[in-house]
């Protein structure tokens, strides 16, 4: 890599200054504000600000609803990540074969990523909806079981999982496709000559060689499903039935935005901040070093 | 890669903002009055219409009606703007935000505004429930605007198909019997309700003169304890739980989600806001016929009244006296009998003054569309008591959420009615305690 040397000592600082300023104003300042607010009981209009120390956190961790929400988020994130990656890898392998119309398939498979989470949620809503959805309608021919997710927690959870997997699918696929294309064909051919079948080749060569991609996608999907799924939940289930799909990020929004309990909500976002810092640290620490060919 | 993209977007946003701020704003001949509201679609058009009519009626003030998203979004927008010292003059706040607004110290009470500007509105002519909900110490704090109350809707075609007479059920016993017949005749949804907590818990308590929370539902002091786990509340939930189990009650989700089932012609008996009438009318046109009735009664409990919902207009502190003068004139204009009658006729919201009710009666609106009158007669046959004057709870949106969560747990059978209501009360009390701690 070519190393750039600046003659002027201040020029580099001036050049990065806008970026630093934006980061400070749009990332650090709000983060600091929520950190500060999490220690207060605050009125919506800001006329009352009562210091409560760690009171909000104490209330948070003593709240059974919050612990249920945390559990639901963990289950949701892991399922979305594993199902999402497995599916993307499978289809990427298929789309990596030499078949006619390959470009078209690949483009079509990437499409879902261009859809906003809320829209993805609405699309699945139309498929799943107990009264006007096509799926319950078709199922009514084969079973009398009622898939009313307004009342069945696990169906509601399955629904937002499907929507989230779908939403992330194109992104995962793109990375896997790129990863697959980086694998030398000669290695695969050599294995074929040695008599390894398609499945053997996949597990002995493809999968290990793709491990950096998988690791990267793992952290990325975990982050996505922890923090970026607000739109899906809001559009489809609003956290219900009961609080079955009230994920952490949704609960923080609801308590703060609808409930106007600002300090309590800030404490929740501080917890979420800690989680994302951990995930990022994990990513930086292990991504480049431990997972290699 | 994602991060870079994001930063670029922010950079652009900052640049655009800077350019916009640098542009000189054109000098305004008229005094501008910002009115933030949360009504969309047809209702939003009506809001624009009334602002335009006011603007055309005089030359000094220009009311700018700005749609700010859902009710919580509009309220949050106003809160953020107030904290940034740039509040709108008028903001439309939903009824559950009332206590928050009253406690905020950020509002200019409407009765005061009118007095300071020497304009009179006959507050005594306001219909009782509206006046009591938004008054403190006998003085009106926010301008009554769009108030509604839940009523019963029924699908006449489904009734006919099931061999039922063309008459709405008057009691819960009849709701159950009729809904069962509907389902037996092949109907998909015998009974359902939108806004579950509002129609089935809050209003049922008011309608049967039962307390929802202590301190007269928060009217005699900050409410600290919910009282919906009493015999009445539990009995209501047991009835509905059994309804789900036996198949005559179909739960269709929170907010107004269930309305899509009624509009699709699936549900026979339905509870929702009187302001749903316009949408139902449009959806049903040429497909099915419908009628309305009063809320059903549960035998053995006294008569109370239904509770209103909807929103009112709050005036924010921090503007100039000449601007407030315009706000007062606008409110005077809104409150005129003619405008009230027009608003109630085109939207299905309650006419807020007795004079407007009379005017609508005289003009033959009710004769032509008797359904418009159902909410009015319901509130007039009801008896206003401390339990039905309204609900004034701190952090009410969160309380409502806690109630609806437990309603779902009761309906899906994972909790008994008693257990569910006890849990709703426990969580609700926690939320109320937080609010009380803020304003002690």
Q: What is the pLDDT of residues B342-358, one digit of tens each?
A: 999 888 899 889 999 99
Residue B17 confidence (pLDDT) above 70: no
Q: What is the DSSP letter of A1?
A: -
pLDDT at A139: 81
Q: What is the DSSP string of B342-376?
A: HHHHHH-PPP-BHHHHHHHHHHTHHHH-THHHHHH
CATH no. for B150-306+393-438:
3.40.190.10
- pLDDT, tens digit, for every residue of A204-234? 888 888 888 998 899 889 888 888 888 888 8
Which chain B residue has its CA at the smallest distance from A261's CA? B395
Residue A145 confidence (pLDDT) above 80: no
Q: What is the DSSP string of A4-23?
A: P--SSSSHHHHHHHHHHHHH
* Nearest CA among B135, B112, B179 for reference residue B324: B112
| Rounded mean pLDDT, B16-45 | 73
- pLDDT, tens digit, for every residue of B357-367? 999 999 988 89
Does residue A40 belong to any structural domain of this protein?
no
Which chain A residue has its CA at the smallest distance from B107's CA? A45
pLDDT at B4: 45
Spans of all domains in chain B: 28-148+309-368, 150-306+393-438
Helix axes A134-142, A117-128, angle to 10 degrees: 30
- Contact between B72 and A240 using a beta-carbon 8 Å cutoff: no
Do B386 and B197 form a contact (C-beta atoms < 8 A)? no
Structural domain that includes position A67: 63-286
**Who among A132, A150, A257 is closest to B72 (CB)?**
A257
For residues B181 and A212, what is the distance between their CA atoms, to the nearest angstrom?
Answer: 62
CATH number of the structural domain spanning residue A271: 1.10.3720.10
Gap between the terminal Cα atoms of chain A: 22
- pLDDT, tens digit, for every residue of B158-182? 999 999 999 999 999 999 999 999 9
pLDDT at B2: 44
**Who among A42, A242, A259 is closest to B409 (CB)?**
A242
- Contact between A131 and B264 using a beta-carbon 8 Å cutoff: yes
Instruction: Give chain B positions within 8 Å (CB) of A152.
Output: 412
Does residue A165 belong to any structural domain of this protein?
yes
* Nearest CA among B210, B237, B224, B202 for reference residue B95: B202
Helix axes A11-23, B2-22, angle to 10 degrees: 90
For residues B371 and B47, what is the distance between their CA atoms, to the nearest angstrom?
Answer: 23
Cβ contacts from A onto B, under 8 A: 102
Mean pLDDT lowest among A159-173, B101-115, B207-221: A159-173
Quickly state the pLDDT bin for B5 (edges 50, 70, 90): very low
- Contact between A150 and B251 using a beta-carbon 8 Å cutoff: yes
Name the burial class of residue B264, with classes exposed (0-12), middle (13-18) and buried (19+) by CB atoms within 10 angstroms of its CB.
middle
pLDDT at B12: 57
Which chain A residue has its CA at the smallest distance from B407's CA? A242
* Nearest CA among B92, B47, B46 for reference residue B65: B47
* Nearest CA among B379, B399, B374 for reference residue B222: B399
- Contact between B261 and A23 using a beta-carbon 8 Å cutoff: no
Which chain A residue has its CA at the smallest distance from B437's CA? A41
Instruction: Give chain A positions within 8 Å (CB) of B261.
Output: 131
> In Å, how far is A146's CA from the nearest CA of chain B?
11
Mean pLDDT lowest among A130-139, B156-165, B244-253: A130-139
- pLDDT, tens digit, for every residue of A77-103? 999 999 999 999 998 888 887 777 777
Provide the number of structural domains found in chain A: 1
Q: Parallel, antiparallel, or unpaired: how do β-strands A49-51 and B150-155 relate?
A: unpaired
Name the burial class of residue B186, with classes exposed (0-12), middle (13-18) and buried (19+) by CB atoms within 10 angstroms of its CB.
exposed
Class of domain B28-148+309-368: alpha beta
Name the burial class of residue B147, with classes exposed (0-12), middle (13-18) and buried (19+) by CB atoms within 10 angstroms of its CB.
buried
Does residue A18 belong to any structural domain of this protein?
no
Q: Which residues of A touch B (CB under 8 A)?
A: 18-19, 22-23, 26, 41-48, 50, 65, 130-132, 148, 150-153, 238, 240-243, 254-255, 257-261, 264
Task: Report which secondary-structure segment, H or E, holds B334.
Answer: helix B321-335
pLDDT at B18: 55
- Contact between B398 and A261 using a beta-carbon 8 Å cutoff: yes
| Rounded mean pLDDT, A139-144 | 77
For residues A201 and A189, what is the distance between their CA atoms, to the nearest angstrom?
Answer: 10
């Amino acid at each position: 890599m070519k190393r750039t040397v600046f003659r002027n000592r201040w020029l580099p600082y001036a050049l990065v200054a806008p970026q630093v300023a934006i980061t400070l104003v749009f990332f650090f300042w709000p983060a600091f504000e929520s950190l500060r607010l999490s220690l207060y009981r605050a009125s919506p209009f800001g006329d009352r600000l009562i210091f409560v120390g760690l009171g909000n956190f104490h209330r948070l961790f003593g709240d059974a609803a919050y612990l249920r929400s945390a559990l639901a988020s963990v289950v949701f994130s892991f399922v979305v990540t594993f199902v999402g990656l497995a599916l993307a890898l499978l289809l990427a392998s298929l789309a990596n074969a030499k078949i006619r119309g390959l470009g078209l398939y690949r483009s079509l498979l990437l499409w879902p990523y261009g859809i906003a989470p809320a829209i993805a949620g609405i699309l699945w809503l139309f498929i799943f909806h107990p009264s006007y959805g096509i799926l319950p309608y078709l199922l009514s021919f084969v079973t009398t079981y009622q898939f009313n997710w307004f009342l069945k927690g696990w169906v509601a959870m399955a629904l937002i999982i499907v929507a989230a997997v779908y939403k992330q699918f194109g992104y995962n696929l793109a990375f896997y496709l790129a990863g697959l294309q980086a694998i030398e064909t000669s290695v695969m051919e050599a294995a074929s000559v040695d008599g390894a079948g398609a499945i053997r080749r996949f597990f002995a060569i493809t999968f290990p060689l793709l491990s950096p991609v998988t690791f990267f996608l793992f952290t990325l999907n975990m982050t996505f499903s922890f923090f970026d799924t607000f739109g899906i939940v809001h559009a489809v289930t609003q956290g219900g039935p009961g609080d079955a799909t009230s994920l952490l990020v949704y609960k923080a929004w609801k308590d703060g935005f609808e409930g106007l309990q600002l300090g309590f909500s800030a404490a929740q976002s501080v917890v979420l901040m800690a989680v994302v810092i951990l995930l990022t640290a994990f990513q930086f620490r292990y991504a480049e070093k431990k997972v290699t060919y | 890669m994602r991060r870079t993209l994001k930063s670029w977007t922010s950079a652009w946003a900052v640049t655009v903002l800077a350019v916009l701020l640098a542009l000189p704003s054109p000098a305004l001949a008229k005094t501008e009055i910002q009115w933030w509201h949360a009504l969309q679609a047809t209702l939003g058009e009506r809001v624009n219409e009334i602002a335009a009519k006011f603007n055309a009626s005089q030359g000094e003030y220009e009311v700018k009606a700005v749609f700010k998203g859902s009710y919580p979004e509009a309220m949050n927008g106003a809160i953020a703007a107030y904290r940034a010292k740039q509040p709108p003059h008028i903001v439309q706040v939903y009824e559950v935000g009332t206590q928050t607004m009253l406690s905020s110290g950020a509002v200019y009470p409407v009765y005061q505004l009118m007095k300071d500007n020497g304009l009179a509105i006959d507050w005594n002519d306001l219909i009782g429930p509206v006046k009591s909900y938004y008054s403190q110490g006998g003085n009106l704090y926010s301008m009554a605007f769009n108030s509604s109350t839940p009523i019963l809707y029924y699908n006449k075609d489904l009734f006919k198909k099931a061999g039922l007479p063309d008459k709405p059920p008057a009691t819960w016993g009849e709701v159950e019997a009729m809904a069962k017949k509907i389902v037996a005749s092949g109907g998909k949804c015998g009974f359902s309700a939108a806004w579950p907590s509002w129609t089935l818990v809050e209003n049922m308590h008011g309608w049967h003169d039962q307390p929802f929370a202590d301190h007269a539902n928060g009217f005699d002091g900050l409410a600290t304890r919910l009282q919906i786990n009493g015999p009445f509340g539990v009995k209501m939930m047991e009835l509905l739980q059994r309804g789900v189990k036996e198949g005559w009650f179909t739960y269709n989700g929170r907010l107004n989600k269930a309305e899509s089932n009624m509009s699709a012609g699936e549900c026979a008996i339905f509870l929702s806001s009187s302001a749903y009438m316009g949408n139902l009318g449009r959806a049903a046109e040429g497909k099915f016929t419908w009628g309305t009735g009063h809320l059903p009664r549960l035998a053995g409990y006294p008569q109370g009244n239904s509770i209103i919902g909807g929103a009112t207009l709050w005036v924010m502190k921090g503007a100039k006296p000449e601007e407030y003068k315009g706000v007062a004139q606008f409110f005077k204009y809104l409150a005129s009998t003619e405008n009230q009658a027009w608003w109630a006729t085109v939207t299905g919201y309650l006419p807020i003054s007795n004079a407007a009710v009379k005017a609508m009666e005289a003009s033959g609106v009710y004769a032509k569309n008797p359904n418009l009158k159902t909410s009015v007669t319901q509130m007039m046959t009801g008896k206003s008591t401390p339990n039905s004057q309204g609900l004034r709870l701190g952090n009410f949106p969160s309380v409502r959420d806690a109630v609806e969560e437990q309603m779902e747990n009761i309906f899906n059978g994972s909790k008994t009615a008693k257990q569910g209501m006890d849990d709703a009360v426990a969580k609700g009390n926690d939320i109320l305690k937080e609010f009380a701690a803020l304003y002690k």
